[in-house]
Structure 1
């Protein structure tokens, strides 16, 4: 599978991705390092002791710039990156940015990817809390793009405890959650490791899972792969990515319901109440007789012994 990384670029010199990176333009250089980190989570292959392995370590990476060389993204660059990635054969398109503008432009790019049967995966929120108009951190949950577009699989992060860090940006109705706190990954070159956090890294894990499923079952469409990831996810307030279940679960056909196509069940009529009432009356009468006989066994001998005289 080919996974496009629409981000800051991907370092072609990274040992973990050696020979599997195709870059468009200047995207083979990654001065910021974020795109290389995400690509390693998606498709990094082991290179020695302590190496980080990605979810789909045999996948190919198509590096596409969605930012300038300093890591500043825009809706125009991301939209162009998505369209270019699809035109160059990407089956899964990972977008490493969460933008607060450009919904129309990005919606057209995602629709184009959908028409080409490519699955777009994006973070549900940025990795750091954005500043508001007053210059202070804005912690409100809001829509970000392209994650808010219906065809996009939007992903939020969670940490080792299963919850999101308290200082993480608020997310609004993500489709899925995946590991994204204190994640270890690769850099654009060399064998060193880095640590990062955020929904963008959770989205990278999910993009790797999508590539793995598409390689295992190549007849599945992008929509079917998305459905597998969502319906096979670990149940929680936000379903959590389960790569193994996504690969192995057998889902019912779309649109079926329990018992569809079978004859309705016919329940037997309720049992009549008369026999039950008669049984209760007979049982109650028998109990009364037993109690009377028991009392007679105790009382009669004593009465005869006193010749039925009253006790002193």
Structure 2
């Protein structure tokens, strides 16, 4: 059974962030896919006036005192990443056609991962010192393709990416994707993906399709699967069939960059939450380069803020002191052992000593009788 793309509306329109004077800033919405007659994404003319809520939620100002992701390459497998965007200038390496992003989703996600400040009103990513390796996992309209994504994961691992972000969700048989993830893990690359689609699947009648299904590649056990939460920490209802995610991260009402210029867009969904986790993984891999991909995943999960789904905390992921090994089951107690009694041994020794003393007395008594008689006869034998 071939993998299929999860149907979604072209864009999500959410409540925009408030400006300094209390009036909303109408940021253009981020698109996940395009219609055939849509035009390619261009620069936004709007900018958010306030610092994104995600910075404090992830404790990024404190995290940047320790790590900015330098020396780590994050692969972005999505709609492409526009190399010309100022916030990523000079840090994007594109494979094939991935240097162009007509949809804008891949560039937005790459900005959440690694955008650097270019002015007073720019949005900074989680790991602004990281490098981006762009790979196309969709067609030009943003429709994902399983073969493209699987090959993208393998290529990213071969190119030395320490973190591999997959921004798309597919359904069906994910055997090829599972094999690609195993290949990446063998090369010490950590794969991060959304646990569910950004928009609930719809049936032919336009109504939500609530049939349970498997979502790939997040269903692969070695992938860090991520779901989104908003500023209040609340999460949308889980998509039918989605496995329990590994982490929750900021993904609702998220402000990010476009394919060019310094303007901002507004987006929402688990794919954006996964981008934040990929950025946090880059921070950890830069700060603690001796950790393996599996150890980085464990650190992010165990250092997260405790909740029904642990909430990503980038600073805690950098600083938490974790046990060197996972807690084992409580050791079974040794059976009680009674000390050996010494009473029997003491009695035996007393009897032995007493018997020996009696023998000595008898021998001495016998000698006292026999010796005088022997002397009297001159030791001649008796008749």
Q: Which residue of 2 aligns with 1:145?
A: 216
Q: 2:169 aligns to what?
A: 98
Determine whether 1:251 maps to 2:251.
no
> Once the 2 structures are TM-superposed, how far is the Cα of residue 139 of structure 1 from its aligned partner?
3.6
Mapping 1:223-242, distance limit 5 Å: 223-242=294-313
In the alignment, the residues of structure 2 paired with residue 108 and residue 172 of structure 1 have an alpha-carbon distance, to the nearest angstrom, of 19
Q: Is the 8 A contact 2:74 2:282 kept in 1?
A: yes
Alpha-carbon distance in structure 2 between the residues aligned to 1:179 and 1:97: 17
Shift of 1:259: 8.7
Which of these residues, 224, 231, 253, is aligned with residue 182 of structure 1? 253
What is the aligned residue count? 262
For residues 198 and 211 of structure 2, the distance between their equivalents in structure 1, rounded to whole angstroms, comes to: 14
Which structure has the bigger radius of gyration?
Answer: 2
* Residues 6, 63 of structure 1: 8 Å contact kept: yes
**Alpha-carbon distance in structure 2 between the residues aligned to 1:236 and 1:38:** 25
TM-score, length of structure 1 as denominator length: 0.80
Residue pair 1:141, 1:172 contacting (<8 A) in 2 also = no
In the TM superposition, what are the counterparts of 1:130-279 in structure 2 within 5 Å?
A: 130-132=201-203, 135-140=206-211, 142-165=213-236, 169=239, 171-257=242-328
Separation (CA, whole Å) in 2 of partners of 1:174 and 1:193: 29
**Greater relative contact order structure (CA < 8 Å, 6+ sep):** 2
Alpha-carbon distance in structure 1 between the residues aligned to 2:183 and 2:198 = 27
Runs of 4+ in 1 over 4 A off after TM superposition: 168-171, 257-260
In the alignment, the residues of structure 1 paired with residue 172 and residue 120 of structure 2 have an alpha-carbon distance, to the nearest angstrom, of 43
Contact 1:165 / 1:181 at 8 angstroms: preserved in 2?
no
1:296 paired residue number: none
Report if aligned partners of 1:42, 1:208 keep a CA contact under 8 Å in 2.
Answer: yes
Name stretches of at least 5 consecutive residues in structure 1 with no aligned partner. Answer: 265-312
Question: Which whole-Å CA distance do the structure 2 matches of 1:152 and 1:116 have between them?
Answer: 14
> What does the per-residue CA deviation read over 1:240-283, in whole Å, with 9 as the maximum and x for residues that have no partner?
001111000011022345998xx99xxxxxxxxxxxxxxxxxxx
| Residue in structure 2 matching 1:55, options 118, 121, 126 | 126
Distance 1:102 1:194 in 2: 34
Supply the distance in 2 between the matched residues of 1:205 and 1:193 (Cα, whole angstroms).
Answer: 17
State the Cα distance separating 1:130 from its structure 2 match: 1.0
Does the Cα contact within 8 Å between 1:21 and 1:62 map onto a contact in 2? yes
2-structure distance, mates of 1:84, 1:206: 21
Report matched runs for 1:33-112 at 5 Å.
33-112=104-183
Secondary structure of 2:168's counterpart equals coil
Q: Distance in 1 between matches of 2:221 and 2:204?
A: 28
Deviation string 1:109-137 (CA, Å, 9 cap, x unpaired) is 00100110100000001111112365521
Separation in 1 of the partners of 2:163 and 2:113? 11
